[in-house]
């Protein structure tokens, strides 16, 4: 069978521009009309000074006033339309990428750990949307019209045009200075903000430990130090941008006065009229206003640009390679071939050259001392951590040949730290599938031996368990997590210390669940620290230092133990002794 090649995907944020082409065209046309209508005040002043006052004609003034009111009303309507369009553009960005940003957060376990609390991608969307919906982009749309206004100043008089151009160059220099000086402070402020929010979130999640052991005051001192650094960084950035903003505003007002002075000189020399003197002053103010507004909002622009860059990078990381052929559900084997593995973002290997195979209907217990790579192996087998080298295959196909959602339907995973979501028990068991059938949910609960416990609750499967399942005990969370792992009868079930919080009844239900997976010809990998969970397995893999020290039938491994490793041998002997006592 010929290999199916995946096609490269375009950068998603660049594709946004093509989909928003109509909105961009509308913004361009609206900005054109707004900037043309912005000449209303200047030309009204010109007509008043040069036509109305010399002729002393009130009807002319009244007619001009009616026209000006109509033009200003139309300008207000267009300006409002532009603001509403920008708001729609901001919303379109959010709607287009909020789902992918959430996926970036949800899939972060398989990538290099991100700084902070891991929610920066969500904040980046808020930053971009907030900037697009504010007045900052309006200034950027108005900037290209500055040469048009300067050209009109030259039409009034060359000296007025030269004075306005000199002022435009000064303000442009201030804008470039704002860009160069604010880039790094903005980046530092965001980094410290991530650290600050991550510390606050950690304190919230561990509030019980903090209160019970009385170190809230120490954490408050640590918070004060982080918050002080955040405030200092924020103040430095704000001071820089505000200084340049006030300087640009003062420079613009000074320039407006300079143009008025030049116009006065020209009037005295009878080279211009009084109307031109006043109108050019207003025109220059309008010409340079976008630069002043851009500098005033430069901090938001810099933050939005950096957020856009991070968003583009994170969204591209969540893109899946196209899979033109949907593979059949695995039913035969799990194969680990010469696996070399480390944590995402790290170059230090945890698993080195590991190989073994599991056939349908087999259960393998993985044992070994702490830090031997057991949980890392579990994360690799379920597709969380990419391998440095080697491969993991289901029915001969590597995990990468499945799309994550398709692969996930064939995998059940119970991690050490069971994390449930705010919702009902049924939603958690069904992995929040909106089309999940009651039959599948009940079957998973019965397979995990938790059905009677669930229906014993007042609201049964509709019981809401709160964030992290705080309404349940640790043992109850673990058993519901087991039911979630068994939902829809996945072929591969990986259980990482599944009995750490279970009582005798729970351990019995766990053993029956493992037997149930084997009887329906699935495969079970059990990470074990306690011997009782090994009663349901028929093979044992012993790890030490990321390498396999023994692999084979449970009786053979537990009877002999690996001779080269004293620490591992002691661990296996402890498991063997525990198994004899339990039997």
Residue 576 located in a structural domain: no
Same domain? 216 vs 358: no
Select from 17, 223, 194 the least CA-distant residue to 118: 194
pLDDT for 357:
94
Please report where in the chains the tokens 């944590």 appear, as a residue: 343
Domain check: are 103 and 143 in the same one?
Answer: yes
- Residue labelled with tokens 């938001």: 300
What's the total number of domains in the chain?
2
Closest CA to 540 of 579, 489, 492, 582: 579
Within a domain: residue 572?
Answer: no
Q: Which long-range contacts (CB under 8 A, 24 or more apart) does 431-439 make?
A: 431/484, 431/487, 436/487
Q: For position 8, what pLDDT does the model report?
A: 42
In a domain, 573, yes or no: no
Cβ proximity of 271 and 157 under 8 Å: yes
pLDDT (0 to 100) of residue 566: 44
Residue 542: domain span: 333-560
Same domain, 294 and 339: no
Q: Assess whether 374 and 269 both reside in one domain.
A: no
pLDDT band (50, 70, 90) for residue 485? very high
d(CA 16, CA 312): 11
- Asked whether 493 and 484 are in contact (CB, 8 A), the reply is no
Q: Which residue has the higher pLDDT, 409 or 287?
A: 409
Please indicate, yes or no, if residue 382 is contained in any of the structural domains: yes
Checking if the pLDDT of 293 tops 70, the result is yes
179, 229, 252 from 248: Cα distances, Å: 14, 29, 6
Q: What is the pLDDT of residue 393?
A: 94
CA angle 230, 236, 238 (to 5 degrees): 100
Predicted confidence (pLDDT) at residue 153 exceeds the cutoff of 60: yes
> What's the pLDDT at 358?
94
Distance separating alpha carbons of residues 328 and 243, to the nearest angstrom: 64
Q: Max Cα separation, the chain? A: 116
SS3 state at 153: helix
Same domain, 148 and 192: yes
Same domain, 302 and 389: no
Beta strands 539-544 and 523-527, pairing class: unpaired
Which percentage of the chain shows pLDDT scores above 70? 87
CA 572 – CA 550 distance, rounded (Å): 10
Start-to-end CA distance of the chain, whole Å, equals: 50
Q: For residues 108 and 247, which has the higher predicted lDDT (pLDDT)?
A: 247
287 and 392, same structural domain? no
If you average pLDDT over residues 487-516, what whole number do you get? 90
Residue 317: predicted pLDDT? 63
**Predicted confidence band at 251 (pLDDT cuts at 50, 70, 90)?**
confident
Do 74 and 221 fall into the same domain? yes
Name the residue among 525, 506, 389 with its Cα closest to residue 448: 506
Average pLDDT over residues 81-97: 81
Confidence of residue 232 (pLDDT cuts 50, 70, 90): confident
The CATH number of residue 151's host domain is 1.20.1560.10
Average pLDDT score over residue span 380-385: 90
Q: What is the mean pLDDT of residues 122-131?
A: 80
What pLDDT is attached to residue 73? Answer: 92
* 352 or 195, which is more confident: 352
Q: What is the DSSP string of 499-514?
A: TTT--HHHHHHHHHHH
Model pLDDT, residue 404: 79
Whether 582 is in a domain gets the answer no
- 461: domain CATH number is 3.40.50.300
Report the C-alpha gap between 125 and 315 in whole angstroms.
11
Pairing type for strands 539-544 and 363-367 reads: parallel
Q: Which pLDDT score is estimated for 460?
A: 93
> By CB neighbour count within 10 A (0-12 exposed, 13-18 middle, 19+ buried), where does 312 fall?
middle
Q: How many residues would you count in the chain?
A: 583
Structure confidence at residue 139 (pLDDT): 76
Distance of CA 153 to the CA centre of its chain: 48
3-state helix, strand, coil in the chain (%, to 5): 65, 10, 25
**431 and 526, same structural domain?**
yes
Question: How far is residue 526's CA from residue 48's CA, in Å, rounded to a whole number?
Answer: 89
Clarify whether residues 80 and 166 are in a common domain: yes
Let me know if residue 2 belongs to a domain.
Answer: no
Pairing of strands 411-414, 492-496: parallel
* Residue 560: predicted pLDDT: 67
> Cβ neighbours of residue 313 under 8 Å, at least 6 residues apart?
none
**Do the Cβ atoms of 251 and 295 come closer than 8 Å?**
no
Q: In 181-306, which ranges are E strands?
A: none
Give whichever of 189-203, 291-305, 403-417 has the largest mean pLDDT: 403-417
Q: How far apart are CA 153 and CA 324, in angstroms?
A: 62
* 6: in domain: no
How many angstroms separate the CA atoms of 67 and 261, rounded? 29
pLDDT, the chain, mean: 81
Nearest CA among 295, 25, 28 for reference residue 142: 28
Say if 327 falls within a structural domain.
Answer: no
pLDDT of 432 higher than 70: yes
What's the pLDDT at 214? Answer: 73
**Tokens (6 digits) for 391:** 């491969």
More confident residue, 59 or 119: 59
Q: How confident is the model at residue 57 (pLDDT cuts 50, 70, 90)?
A: confident
457: how many CB neighbours lie within 10 A of its CB?
Answer: 15
pLDDT at 322 (0 to 100): 61
- Please give the helix or strand (H or E) that residue 32 lies within, else none: helix 21-37
Helices marked H in 109-157 — which ranges? 120-132, 136-142, 146-156
Neighbours of 458 (CB within 10 A): 6
* 414-418, 447-451, 458-462: least confident range: 414-418
Residue 500 and residue 421 share a domain: yes
Give the confidence band of 318 by pLDDT, cuts at 50, 70, 90. low
**Cβ atoms of residues 275 and 46 within 8 Å:** yes
Residues 6+ apart with CB under 8 A from 8: none
pTM above 0.85, yes or no: no
- Regarding whether 500 and 356 lie in a shared domain, the answer is yes
Q: Which pLDDT band, with edges at 50, 70 and 90, does 365 fall under?
A: very high
Task: List own/partner pairs for 396-402 with CB under 8 A and 24 or more apart.
Answer: 396/333, 396/335, 397/327, 397/330, 400/321, 401/323, 401/327, 402/323, 402/327
> Which residue, of 319, 345, 378, is where some domain finishes?
319
């Amino acid at each position: 069978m010929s290999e199916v090649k995946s096609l490269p995907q375009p950068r998603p944020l660049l594709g946004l521009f093509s989909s928003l082409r109509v909105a961009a065209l509308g913004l361009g046309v609206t900005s054109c009309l707004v900037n043309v209508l912005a000449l209303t005040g200047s030309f009204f002043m010109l007509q008043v000074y040069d036509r109305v006052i010399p002729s002393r004609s009130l009807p002319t003034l009244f007619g001009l006033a009616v026209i000006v009111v109509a033009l200003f009303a139309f300008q207000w309507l267009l300006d409002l339309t532009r603001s509403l369009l920008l708001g729609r553009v901001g919303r379109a960005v959010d709607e287009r990428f909020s789902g992918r940003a959430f996926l970036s957060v949800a899939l972060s376990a398989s990538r290099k750990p991100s700084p902070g609390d891991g929610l920066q991608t969500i904040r980046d969307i808020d930053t971009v949307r907030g900037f697009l919906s504010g007045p900052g982009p309006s200034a950027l749309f108005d900037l290209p019209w500055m040469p048009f206004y300067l050209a009109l100043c030259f039409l009034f008089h060359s000296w007025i045009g030269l004075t306005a151009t000199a002022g435009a160059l000064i303000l442009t220099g201030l804008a470039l200075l704002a860009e160069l000086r604010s880039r790094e402070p903005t980046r530092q402020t965001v980094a410290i903000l991530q650290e600050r929010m991550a510390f606050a979130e950690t304190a919230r999640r561990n509030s019980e430990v903090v209160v019970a052991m009385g170190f809230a005051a120490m954490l408050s001192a640590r918070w004060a130090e982080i918050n002080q650094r955040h405030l200092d960084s924020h103040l430095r950035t704000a001071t820089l941008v505000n200084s340049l903003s006030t300087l640009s505003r003062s420079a613009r007002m000074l320039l407006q006065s300079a143009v008025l002075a030049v116009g006065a000189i020209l009037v005295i020399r009878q080279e211009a009229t009084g109307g031109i003197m006043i109108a050019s002053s207003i025109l220059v103010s309008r010409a340079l206003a976008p630069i002043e507004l851009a500098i005033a909002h430069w901090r938001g622009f810099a933050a939005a640009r950096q957020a856009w860059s991070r968003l583009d990078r994170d969204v591209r990381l969540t893109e899946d390679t196209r899979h033109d052929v949907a593979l059949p559900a695995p039913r035969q084997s799990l194969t680990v071939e010469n696996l070399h593995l480390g944590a995402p973002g790290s170059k230090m290997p945890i698993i080195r050259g590991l190989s073994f195979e599991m056939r349908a209907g087999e259960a393998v217990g993985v044992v070994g001392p702490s830090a031997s790579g057991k949980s890392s192996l579990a994360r690799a087998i379920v597709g969380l951590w990419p391998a440095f080298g080697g491969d993991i295959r289901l029915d001969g196909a590597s995990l990468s040949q499945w799309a994550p959602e398709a692969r996930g339907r064939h995998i059940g995973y119970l991690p050490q730290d069971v994390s449930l979501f705010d919702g009902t028990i049924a939603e958690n068991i069904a992995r929040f599938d909106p089309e999940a059938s009651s039959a599948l949910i009940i079957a998973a609960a019965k397979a995990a031996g938790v059905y009677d416990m669930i229906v014993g609750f007042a609201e049964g499967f509709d019981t809401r368990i709160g964030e992290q399942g705080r309404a349940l005990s640790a043992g109850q969370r673990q058993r519901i997590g087991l039911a979630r792992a068994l939902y829809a009868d996945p072929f591969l079930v990986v259980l990482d210390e599944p009995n750490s919080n279970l009582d005798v009844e729970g351990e019995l239900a766990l053993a029956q669940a493992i037997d149930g997976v084997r009887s329906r010809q699935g495969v079970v990998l059990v990470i074990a620290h306690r011997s009782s969970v090994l009663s349901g397995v028929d093979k044992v893999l012993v790890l030490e230092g990321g390498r396999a020290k023994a692999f084979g039938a449970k009786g053979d491994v537990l009877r002999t133990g690996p001779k080269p490793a004293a620490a591992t041998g002691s661990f296996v002997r402890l498991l063997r002794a525990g198994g004899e006592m339990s039997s």
